[in-house]
Amino acid sequence: MSDATRPITVLITAAEASGDKLGAGLVRALRRRLPDRVVRIVGIGGRELEAEGLTSPFDISELSILGFTEGVKALPRVVRRADEVAALAQDARPDAAVLIDSWGFSLRVAQRLKRLTPPVWVVKYVGPQIWASRPGRAKTLAATVDHLLSTQSMDAPFYAPLGLPVSFVGNPALALDVSGADGVRARQQLGIKPDQPLLLVLPGSRPAEIARLAAPFGEAAARLKLSHPDLAIVVPVAHTVAASVREAVRHWPVQPILIEDDSAKLDAMAACTVALAASGTVTTELALCGAPMVVGYRVGALTYFFGKMIITTRYFTLLNIAAGEEIAPEYIQGRCTGEALAAALAQRLDSARLREDQIAAQNRALDLMGRHNSDPSENAAAAIIADLERLGRL
């Protein structure tokens, strides 16, 4: 049995803003469930985890990698940083490691942690989307980690034959508390009239997304401003890419209002008439806030070429995948142009009925995805504590 007065040490890696938020929620849940123990965290993360006491040895923005070409170029850096995390684990001797999302980086860290003496107990939090592409990754993950905390109910059947324990904890995006999102407050604070149309533009949370989407998103906003002169345009800015977004929108024909506070972002989602968003977690957040949306996305040419061969789903957006239909219109790669995006957005700006129908369909998709389930952070913490108890570390 372990010493009940000994601090519990958990190594966490969160290489992107979404994982940083997920990790911070997990740490808070662990501390709530272990009120008599000190929960010490080491590893890498961003502002959210640093607020919980983690000191990251480097800026995680350099690991925010998207696409095949960028991944190849970044490989030496990824390997070097994975080595650094393993060295950190060798010094800290964590009771468990929790590697959040970021498939390529997490896999390399896990492999190194398993080579340590003694090997570290490794928990993967958020599995690769094997139900959408490359199902062979299930075998790789099962051979590399000890436990998967799954955020999608579609994961478990892929791992059952491989013997990897899977705990479905729920989708963190669905647990987002939007009850305090106040569209009226957002409009008042931003100086936007109650009946003024508002376009919310969300060009992504990775540098590569900003680089590829800023131009078509900016052109779409400019085209809409010409056809709807009273249109207000707002861009929420993730802190991890704030400089990139500011530089990108500086070249837009029309200048948007930038907001950087997370609570203000939710207020803006509740306030908007329609949103233009990069494919990703933010589309679920928009749906929770009742915002009709159009989705755009671009990746590198090589990534798209290989992606067409391995992706098995018809849609990119999770709510579309869950519903089996294109609720939120998707404009991917060559179709992601300012003209096409503006046309789809204009249809929604001009038709209250179309917006209402889309919101209703988005709500049905959210229910299919498991909205109203219990808190994923609490479920994840419970699963990790159960691991620690089995290992005799609590």
Residue range 58-96, pLDDT digits in tens = 888 877 665 555 666 768 889 999 999 999 999 999 999
Q: 210: part of which helix (H) or strand (E)? A: helix 207-227
What pLDDT is stored for residue 177 in this prediction? Answer: 87
Mean pLDDT of 93-109: 95
What pLDDT is stored for residue 63 in this prediction? Answer: 79
In angstroms, the CA 332 to CA 386 distance is 42
pLDDT digits (tens, 9 = 90+) for 159-184: 999 999 999 999 888 888 899 999 99
Domains and CATH numbers, the chain: 8-170+374-390 (3.40.50.2000), 183-369 (3.40.50.2000)
What pLDDT is stored for residue 154 in this prediction? Answer: 80
Nearest Cα neighbor of 236 from 195, 191, 286 is 286
Q: Is 23 helix (H, G, I), strand (E, B) or coil?
A: helix
Cis ω for the linkage preceding 57 (within 30 of 0) = no
Strand blocks (E) in 264-387: 274-278, 293-297, 330-332
Q: Is 325 helix (H, G, I), strand (E, B) or coil?
A: coil
In the chain, pLDDT over 90 holds for what percent of residues?
Answer: 73
For residue 304, name the pLDDT band (cuts at 50, 70, 90). low
What pLDDT is stored for residue 185 in this prediction? Answer: 96
Q: 320 and 280 in contact (C-beta within 8 Å)?
A: no
In angstroms, the CA 296 to CA 276 distance is 7
Q: Which of 294 and 77 is assigned the larger pLDDT? A: 294
Look at residue 35 and tell me whether its pLDDT is greater than 80: yes
**pTM for this structure?**
0.72
Q: 205: part of which helix (H) or strand (E)? A: none
Mean pLDDT of 271-276: 98
In angstroms, the CA 246 to CA 250 distance is 6
The tokens describing 323, both together, are 């519903």
In angstroms, the CA 114 to CA 146 distance is 10
What pLDDT is stored for residue 308 in this prediction? Answer: 65
What is the gyration radius of the CA atoms in the chain, in angstroms?
21
